[in-house]
Chain A
Amino acid sequence: MSYYVDEKGYYGEFGGAYIPEMLYPNTEELRQNYLEIMAAPSFKEEFHQLLKDYVGRPTPLYFAERLSNKYNTKIYLKREDLNHTGAHKVNNTIGQILMAKKLGKNRIIAETGAGQHGVATATVCALMGIECVVYMGEVDIARQAPNVARMKMLGAEVRPALSGSRTLKDATNEAIRDWINNPVDTHYIIGSVVGPHPYPDMVARFQSVISEEIKAQLLEKEGRKNPDYVVACVGGGSNAAGAYYHFLDTPEVGIIAVEAAGKGIHSGESAATSALGKVGIIHGSKTLLMQTPDGQITEPYSISAGLDYPGVGPLHAHLFKSGRGEFISITDDEAMTAGLTLCQLEGIIPAIESSHGLAILEQRKFKSDDIVVMNLSGRGDKDLQNYIDYFKL
């Protein structure tokens, strides 16, 4: 079995392009061109040059000795938190802004929840001098003021999404509506491995630089290319897709996906899609989705704004359904505690999203000679207020 996308845009039964006809020409243009554009030597060269000189890649693969001692296993941290703009998100926005230029687009739209993808998009638009509109739920605008300010400083227009629950899913709806209204000149930079085909595959390919580097770095440090496990948090799942990508068809590498249980899987305030979701359609993709029995999409909850998406990328739905991935849910409390542990053992303040991945160490036992790579997807600067409130700092 292969875990990569098939020629029709599916991962097993998940994926596809469930979009209104109005979006067909846009996604079709992308579908017909993205692989060829990405394969062109000049594109690759420009992409990797920017990742190196502008983003600061390769990011270190750091052997976390004190953390390893605590949990009696070998833990490596893939330091995506050290990227420019503070998270893995920029790998994708660099790729997509170059894609937009190749497609001759002169206007960029994006959705954002916590603001990380919005900032990463505003950043590359500033870099390229391209107009940028970021949709953000009105509720998120109120609770993520520093990122709103960053986007504005970078020259982006931040438009509030006023529909529905006024959070990430509604911001995504608004971005899609904008694309329907501006089908010719605009490229939509989706921030995760979600949306209609070819987005999940394209975003995964841009993020796959993470696992490409892991292989090379592990070979250097351990004399082997493959770890025993790769661990990543999954909201939509872009950092996870990047961290897993080159290991998907290597069954000896265990894939562990960590979802946000919020206040507990069955508390009614959770974002653990694999546990709570059923097959459905969200934002143009057939995937696992949190919804009512009547098919209305419900609002998830997590303390981490990057993980509270009611769906999950179709790749991850397939990894779950096929059993290729091991899915673990972590509560707010477990994540916050794990975040503080990393601060105190390794001197690294992680994003709360990434803390969810770290938290599995308390419950998932590994052998002492296992090599466990944890994707540290982002840094915790953006979450300081949450940490302050939670730990009464």
Chain B
Amino acid sequence: MNRIKSKLQENKKLLSIYFTAGYPNIDDTVQIIQDLEQNGVDIIEIGLPFSDPLADGPTIQASSTQALDNGMTTDLLFEQLQDIRKTVSIPLIIMGYFNPVLQYGVEGFCKRCQEIGIDGLILPDLPLDVYQEEYEAIFNKYGLINVYLITPQTSEERIRQIDDASDGFIYMVSSASTTGTKDGFGDEQQAYFDRIASMGLQNPQIVGFGISNQETFKQATQHAKGAIIGSAFIKHLDKNGPQKIDGFVSGIR
């Protein structure tokens, strides 16, 4: 069974962490993944940096630019991850934009992911209809779960459509924003969390955007299966370097 699906069956709220591969230093990727697992993180999203990350706020933009300046490429990331399954057993997801995947070749990319032991992909700018028409069969062939986003503006009809198309979890964007731009949740988010929870979706939801500490993690996971932290972790890396991950993770739960 896909590691994401097994993980979703565990009876706990899941903590997922995003980081940009090649940041802060080009060779930090494997160490960060290992340390996150050892500190109890449940799912890791490995960011494949892109020159024009249009769904991201300033923190992840800056980390992507830095990672590219450091020399990160798709091939290098695959090389770094070559032996990751010898030491790491939690689900690993690659998150990035569609263009680098398209240039690599979608099938070749998916094949490499399977060889390495990647469990899923999040490509926010790969639209649902294009995925279903052109790429779903390839993702399935290589055992990859494709994760879809919903937002507070997503219509109920569209949410049902995405729920039907999903086979893992739904990435629930907490508010109308780019990553890392809003702090904390207000009544509006709470109402949205409640609304989604009451829809009885087949796929569990993991909340992302705006989660930065214990309080927001708790609030996001009151109904949802888990939560994703990205920008706040990048900021932590920026301030403390990649050596002190334990302090960050223990502060969340």
Question: Which of A59-67, A233-241, A263-271, A292-300 lies on the face that meets chain B?
Answer: A292-300
Interface positions, chain B 46-67, Cβ under 8 Å from A, are 50-58, 61, 65
Complex alpha-carbon distance, A17 and B130, angstroms: 9
A181-B176, A181-B178, A293-B103 known; A22 and B125 CB under 8 Å?
Answer: no
Tell me the minimal C-beta distance from B113 to chain A in angstroms: 16
Q: Please encode chain A, from 157 to 187, with 1 for each CB lying within 8 Å of some chain B CB and 0 for all others.
A: 0000001100001100100110011111000
Contact among A21, A282, A295 with B124 in the assembled complex (CB-CB below 8 Å)? A21
**A161 CB → nearest B CB, Å:** 11
Chain A residues whose C-beta falls within 8 Å of the C-beta of B104 in the assembled complex = 294-295
- Convert B112-145 into 0s and 1s, putting 1 for each residue whose CB lies closer than 8 angstroms to a CB of A: 0000000000001111001000000000000000
Q: Are B176 and A21 in contact (CB under 8 A)?
A: no
Confirm or deny: A283 has a beta carbon within 8 angstroms of a beta carbon on chain B: yes
> Is there a chain B Cβ closer than 8 Å to A20's Cβ?
yes
Out of A16, A21, A164, A183, name the residue touching B52 (CB < 8 Å): A164
Assess whether A281 is interfacial by the CB under 8 Å rule. Answer: yes
Chain B residues with CB under 8 A of A284: 125
What residue of chain A has the Cβ atom nearest to residue B49's Cβ? A296
Quick check: A173 and B54 within 8 Å, CB to CB? yes
Do A18 and B98 touch (CB < 8 A)?
yes
Of all chain B residues, which has the CB nearest A8? B129
Given contacts A22-B149, A183-B153, contact A295 B127 (CB under 8 A): no
Give every chain A residue within 8 A of B176 (Cβ-Cβ): 22, 180-184
Q: Are B101 and A21 in contact (CB under 8 A)?
A: no
Q: Which residues of B contact A181 (CB under 8 A)?
A: 176-178, 181
With both beta carbons as reference points, the residue of chain B lying nearest to A177 in the complex is identified as B178
Measured CA separation A41–B130 after assembly (Å): 35
- Interface residues of B, CB < 8 Å — how many? 42
A25 contacts B by Cβ under 8 Å: yes
Which residues of the partner chain A approach B155 to less than 8 Å between Cβ atoms? 25
- Closest-by-CB residue of B relative to A165 is B51
A181 to B104, CA, bound (A): 31
A3 at the interface (CB under 8 A from B): no
Nearest CB to that of A284 among chain B residues? B125
What sequence of 0s and 1s flags, for each residue 4-32 of chain A, a beta carbon within 8 Å of any chain B beta carbon?
00000000000011111110110000000
Task: Return chain A residues, CB-CB under 8 Å to B150.
Answer: 21
Is B213 at the interface (CB under 8 A from chain A)?
no
Q: Is the CB of B153 within 8 A of A25?
A: yes
Minimum CB–CB distance for A282 against chain B, Å: 7
The interface residues of chain A lying within 8 Å CB-to-CB of B222 are none
| B75 nearest CB neighbor, chain A only | A294
In whole Å, how far is A97's beta carbon from the nearest beta carbon of chain B?
Answer: 23
Min C-beta distance of A275 to chain B, whole Å: 18
> Are B125 and A282 in touch, CB under 8 angstroms?
no
A16 to B181, CA, bound (A): 28
Residue A278 at the chain B interface, CB threshold 8 Å:
yes
Interface size on A, residues (CB 8 A): 36
At the interface, yes or no: A280 with Cβ under 8 Å from chain B? yes
With a cutoff of 8 Å between Cβ atoms, the chain A residues found around residue B23 in the complex are none
B52 to A297, Cβ gap below 8 A?
A: yes
From the candidates A18, A280, A291, A296, name the one contacting B127 in the complex (CB within 8 A): A18
B154 contact set on A, CB distance < 8 A: 21, 24-25
Which residues of A (181-207) have their CB < 8 Å from a CB of B? 181-184
Given contacts A21-B150, A173-B52, contact A16 B130 (CB under 8 A): yes
For A298, what are the chain B residues with a Cβ–Cβ distance below 8 Å?
A: 51
In the assembled complex, how far is the CB of residue B210 from the closest CB belonging to chain A, in whole angstroms? 12
CB contact list, A42-95 vs B, under 8 A? none
What chain B residues lie within 8 Å of A24 (beta carbons)? 127, 153-154, 158
B219 adjacent to chain A (CB < 8 Å): no
Give bound CA distance, A184 to B151, whole Å.
13
Specify which chain A residues have a CB less than 8 angstroms from the CB of B73 in the assembled complex.
294
Q: How far does the Cβ of B222 sit from chain A's closest Cβ, in whole Å?
A: 23
> Which residues of chain B have C-beta atoms less than 8 A from A278's C-beta?
103
In whole angstroms, how far apart are the Cα atoms of A76 and B237 in the complex? 61
In the complex, which of the residues B56, B125, B153 contacts A281, with contact meaning CB atoms closer than 8 Å? B125
Whether the pair B173, A22 counts as a contact (CB closer than 8 A) is yes
Are B181 and A295 in contact (CB-based, < 8 A)?
no
- In the bound complex, CA of A18 to CA of B126 (Å): 6
Residue of B nearest to A298 (CB): B51
- A239-289 interface (Cβ within 8 A of B): 278-284, 289
A/B interface sample: 5 pairs, CB < 8 A: A21-B154, A169-B52, A294-B74, A295-B103, A296-B68
Given contacts A281-B102, A295-B101, 5 further A-B contacts (CB under 8 A): A21-B150, A25-B155, A164-B51, A279-B102, A297-B99
